[in-house]
Structure 1
């Protein structure tokens, strides 16, 4: 038989030469040992050695091919497709179960959800997951907002939470609270506005925000100018801004008072707190039924509707809402002592509070004896009590004692 190339013939010649050498070695070993038995054993050992060498060469060749494949594979394979194991790769061993990470130095509570569960007063509202607030106009309104800070003269906390009814129905929070801080000379002043969009207004949440922001700006201009304060003019500035929002965002070219009321009607409580050396002076007014109280220990003294109260000069008003402006505008002016707390809130807080002698009054009197963390006021305000499911907003102001000068 003729071979197609000399390579195989050379291999056979080389193999034959090796076999002849092996036979000569076997013959010499046979002579040395004196019989054929030793020759067969040695022959078998030689064959085993050759087979071992052949397997080693074959394994080396496979490893080289696998290495070349691994080097080229990333350029041609889908990066999200796992590469098949190579023939020389050992079977993967099961991964050991990962050990849990060590606890942090300051570990949170074991059950964070339980730590932030609403405070239940009497009988709780039914539990459910809130729906997202659907607002087709202008902007998203968060479910809950809170704020807090301190100046030399005041400590302030504010919070506004969506009511359980609006959470269940997927309606937006219609309350709004705005606080503005300024200095005039050596006096610190705090300007505030709390608004509650009327529930039957189609976009009461926009009306509440518009009225509060515009009223704060108008009040600031009066205080900075030194002109006599005209509360009706402040309320009128809020109404004019509500009309502007109706035109720009609701596409009503020339809205009437009736149209503004139908779309954006809102209550409004607005005022200012000025720092004095040993106390604070409060001036405020309101349109609608939002409330204000002075918390003195465990007692709540209402600012509005409490005729004959020695610390306040009050003119009461019936329940109304912007864009209607009562004539005359109600007003209050009184001193706030260092151990007292000014509270301004919507009826979502005022209705369950009542006269302050019940469970809600006791709860807030205890926790507001000193300023809580800002998020703490929001958690407190989000209490769960059956039948009280309106939006809730509360502003709290603590006067701070004048700091003594260093000697």
Structure 2
């Protein structure tokens, strides 16, 4: 059986340049994928280095994390800010800190404290590297956006997701091929933004109001970085149709990563997608 492994073309062809090895340490793979089934859920996630970073030798600055806690799914997507030289490490630390926090958290979750702890993890890491605890320096080195979802079962084949974010990583409820955005404007980070105008950790909004959304059996919760969100737009174009069709049911992990390696036009940023499906129980 043959298969065309050329990346999906979205729009007009863009420039083609060879990928360069990342010029930073520690080692960071170009592409990662994950997926599994838990009681009442299936999940898939992939993160792909964008053409721009491949051409320049910059490591993939996106990351994600998936875990379970007390029958719920924890889903996290983070995007290191381009101007921060160690933001790829920042994105990873944010994801791991959020998972660790939610696996230990009492109910109801203190969402502001969750984001504060994720931001402080960046400050502590910068302090270990520099020998001084300086939040502004941590922001300059490690700044990262984040979107977090805690997805709880709500009866057979249903779930309720609670989401928060800092920055422009975002989420949708995918229903019957339509992309329903779950956030509007990026959360106010308080104070001045980074030079490129991105809200990001370690800055935390003064107030954090989680978004709650119900997921029916045929709905899909999708989290992503702006490297996917920007070309997706309202979801009515080629990219929205490609993913809308493919995410009707959980795809193979390799298929999700292949789709994320799309090419076309000027879309050259890293891109990460994480999807959660509530799964009805098998008939007895």
2:109 to 193, 211, 229: 229
Separation in 2, partners of 1:331, 1:385: 34
Stretches of 4+ aligned residues off by more than 3 angstroms:
none
The answer to whether the 8 Å contact 1:201/1:264 transfers is yes
Task: For residue 245 of structure 1, give the secondary structure of its aligned residue in structure 2.
Answer: helix
Equivalent of 1:255 in 115, 133, 151:
133
Listed as ranges, the gaps of 5+ residues in structure 1 are: 1-107, 307-315
Structure with more strand by fraction: 2
Contact residue 153 and residue 401 of structure 1 kept, 8 A = yes
Is 2:228 the counterpart of 1:349? Answer: yes
Query: Of 240, 244, 247, which aligns to 2:120?
Result: 240
Q: Output one character per residue of 1:117-168: Cα deviation in whole Å (capped at 9) or x when no partner.
A: 10112212222321011114xx211000001111231111100000100000
| 1:87-126 pair list within 5 angstroms | 109=2, 115-126=4-15
| Structure 2 partner of 1:143 | 30
Q: Please give the root-mean-square deviation of Cα atoms over the aligned residues, in Å.
A: 1.5
- Contact 1:152–1:403 (8 Å) recurs in 2: no
Rg (Cα) greater in structure: 1
Q: 3-state DSSP class of the match of 1:324?
A: coil
Between Structure 1 and Structure 2, the one with more helix by share is 1
The two structures have a TM-score, normalised by structure 2, of 0.92
Q: 1:164 to 1:330 in 2, by over 3 A?
A: farther
Establish whether residue 173 from structure 1 lines up as the match of residue 60 from structure 2: yes
Task: Map 1:201-350 onto structure 2 (within 5 A).
Answer: 201-222=84-105, 225-226=106-107, 228-248=108-128, 251-278=129-156, 279-305=158-184, 317-318=187-188, 320-350=199-229
1: CA distance, partners of 2:238 / 2:111 = 35
State the shift of 1:271 in Å.
1.9
Secondary structure in 2 matching 1:214: helix
SS of residue matched to 1:126: coil
Could you tell me whether the CA contact under 8 Å between 1:216 and 1:270 is conserved in 2?
no
Deviation at 1:276, TM superposition (A): 2.2
Does the 8 Å CA contact 1:283/1:333 hold for their aligned counterparts?
yes
Aligned length: 274
